[in-house]
A = this chain, B = another copy of it.
Amino acid sequence: MTDDPNIASTMITNDPWFGSYAQRAETMRASEIRALFAVANRPEVVSLAGGMPFLGRMPFDQLADELSQMLKSQGEQAWQYGSAQGDPHLREDVLPIMALESITDAQPDDVVIVNGSQSGLDLITRIMCNPGDVVLAEAPNYVGALGVFQSFQVDVVNVMMDADGLIPQAFEEAIIAQRKLGKCVKMLYTVPNFHNPAGVTMSLERRPQVLEIARKYHVLILEDNPYGLLGFDGQTYPALRSMDAENVVYLSSFSKIIAPGMRVAWMVAPPGIRQKLVLANESAILCPSNMSQMTISTYLDNFDWQAQIRDYRGMYRERRDAMDSALRECLPSCSWNKPEGGFYIWLKIPDGLNAKEMLPRAITAKVAYVSGTAFYNDGQGKDHMRLSFCYPTPERITEGVHRLAGVIDRELETVKLFGSPEHEGRHNKDGQ
């Protein structure tokens, strides 16, 4: 999430093109929380809402000098159009990164460079899914992926997860149930490592089980792995792609291990899909930015990126610990996981409270979060919120949780005095 304050949430009135838009655009609406974000981004507010990596420890000044040199020696390529599949040098560079998660058989030709993970999600959905097709996905789910699936009029069907990640049996049952309904199940979308927002990791036992089910029913797996190298104890897990090259499309990104400002991510796909991804990439953006790609390569070639990732791990662990401690200290009425990597804590708030309705009061109290409802496509999630510990310092995190505790305490008092403020809606049967 970019937590973009610049998108007006106001509805456009008297739009002369109302009624002329494509069906897929009719459900596109400015998020209701955007107006709040404009306020949430004020410096006096502690934002536990955003997913921005903290970049203060990157060697950016030295990189700026290296870039200047690179542009002087390789400018003819850097400033020019490039290949729709991505720069061959960068496609080579990603191989040792993936090897850290046991992907050792990929070749540069299997790799497609995309304009950030978001574009990768867009391209794979574009080539695989007709309107009405089903994508199975862990719930709660990455909000950016939900947006893509919605924009292609795909039905997202939730599959339950627990502390060990996606539940294989629930995956298989969902396929069977959807097929009984006559639906075409195209993909499973999974974030196996340090899930956004749930913070959990798919266990090693479950990975081959999930793959076996995918093969059995010929369902493609879309493995989205932006956080896999950010395990706080340096632990990594073998990617699903490392166990199956034919049924997995792998997606990873430089946004969290280097920086998001270049918008560079990459995919690995089996040949038929890879070829269509390249054509879709060309149709969508012509080619990824050479300058962005060569900036990434300049960093990888000239700096100790593995040491930098180790440094990130320690920094994010410290922030996770700060949040976990503060929560234990002042929000014993809530429950949460203690994630072993990634950026997020998924907080269950006390019964009777509504994370979405409470948000304006939290921002008034100068703390921001994302309501759990943002991570479901079916109205669930008001009993949860996502707290990010990636960007603020440990001190700010502690302060933010203290403020949040004050808000929650006041909400609980209000509920006690006046009953639950929430509007009771229908209950959903699917999902967790």
The answer to whether B80 and A276 have CB atoms under 8 Å apart is: no
Interface residues of A in 197-212 (CB under 8 A from B): none
Asked whether A279 lies within 8 Å of B2 as measured between CB atoms, the reply is no
A331 → chain B closest CB, angstroms = 28
Check A88 for interface membership: any CB of B closer than 8 A. Answer: yes
Question: CB < 8 Å: which of B12, B20, B283 contacts A28?
Answer: B283
Whether A68 pairs with B76 at a CB distance below 8 angstroms is no
Q: How many copies does the complex hold?
A: 2
Name the B residues within 8 Å of A85 (CB-CB): 4, 6-7
A20-51 contact mask (Cβ, 8 Å, vs B): 1 or 0: 11111100111000000000000000000000
Is A134 an interface residue, CB under 8 A from the partner? no
A263 to B115 CA separation, bound complex (whole angstroms): 10
Which residue of the partner chain, among B29, B79, B148, B260, contacts A259 with CB atoms under 8 Å? B79
Residues of chain B within 8 A (CB-CB) of A64 are 67-69, 71-72, 75
Q: With the chains together, A190 CA to B431 CA distance in Å?
A: 47
Q: Is the CB of B186 within 8 A of A20?
A: yes
The interface centre, meaning the residue of A68, A88, A246, A278 with most chain B CB atoms within 10 A of its CB, is A68
A343 to chain B, nearest CB (A): 13
A144 located at the interface, meaning its Cβ lies under 8 Å from any Cβ of chain B in the complex: yes
Contact at A21–B287, with CB atoms within 8 Å? no
Q: Counting CB contacts under 8 A, is A420 at the interface? A: no
CA distance A218 to B21 in the complex (A): 13
User: Could you tell me if A285 and B272 are in contact, using CB atoms closer than 8 angstroms?
Assistant: no
Residues of B within 8 A of A272 (CB): 12, 15-18
Is A252 close to B, CB under 8 A? Answer: no
For the complex, is A174 an interface residue (Cβ under 8 Å from B)?
Answer: no
A270 within 8 Å of B (CB atoms): yes
Q: Judge whether A147 is part of the interface by a CB distance below 8 angstroms.
A: yes
Using A2-B287, A6-B88, A84-B7 as known contacts, say yes or no to A21 and B276 having CB atoms under 8 A apart. yes
Taken together as a complex, chains A and B put the C-alpha atoms of A83 and B263 apart, in Å, by 12
Query: Do residues A116 and B286 form an inter-chain contact, with CB atoms below 8 A?
Result: yes
Q: Is the CB of A280 within 8 A of B81?
A: no
Determine whether A393 belongs to the interface, using a CB cutoff of 8 Å to chain B.
no
Q: Tell me whether A371 is interfacial, beta carbon within 8 Å.
A: no
Could you say which residues of chain B place their CB within 8 Å of the CB of A71? 60-61, 63-64, 67
A126 interfacial contact with B, CB 8 Å? yes
Given A16-B270, A283-B147, residue A263 in contact with residue B276 (CB < 8 A) = no
Give the contact stretch, choosing among A290-298, A302-310, A351-359.
Answer: A290-298
Alpha-carbon separation in the docked complex, A118 to B283 (Å) = 7
Cβ proximity bits A144-180 to B, threshold 8 Å, 1 near / 0 not:
1001100100000000000000000000000000000
Q: A379 contacts the other chain (Cβ, under 8 Å)?
A: no
Name the contact of A291 in the complex, choosing from B15, B220, B262, B270 (C-beta under 8 A).
B262
| Contact of A324 with B by CB under 8 A | no
What residue in chain B is nearest A28 (Cβ atoms)? B279
- Whether B8 lies near A275 (C-beta < 8 A) is yes
Answer whether residue A65 sits at the interface, using C-beta atoms and an 8 A cutoff.
Answer: yes
| Contacts A55-B80, A67-B67, A291-B292 known; 5 new A-B pairs at CB < 8 A | A16-B218, A17-B272, A122-B285, A147-B282, A284-B284
Interface residues of A (CB under 8 A from B): 2, 4-8, 12, 15-18, 20-25, 28-30, 52, 55, 58, 60-61, 63-65, 67-69, 71-72, 75-85, 88, 109, 115-119, 122, 126-130, 133, 144, 147-148, 151, 186, 218, 220, 246-247, 255, 259-263, 270-273, 275-276, 278-280, 282-292, 295
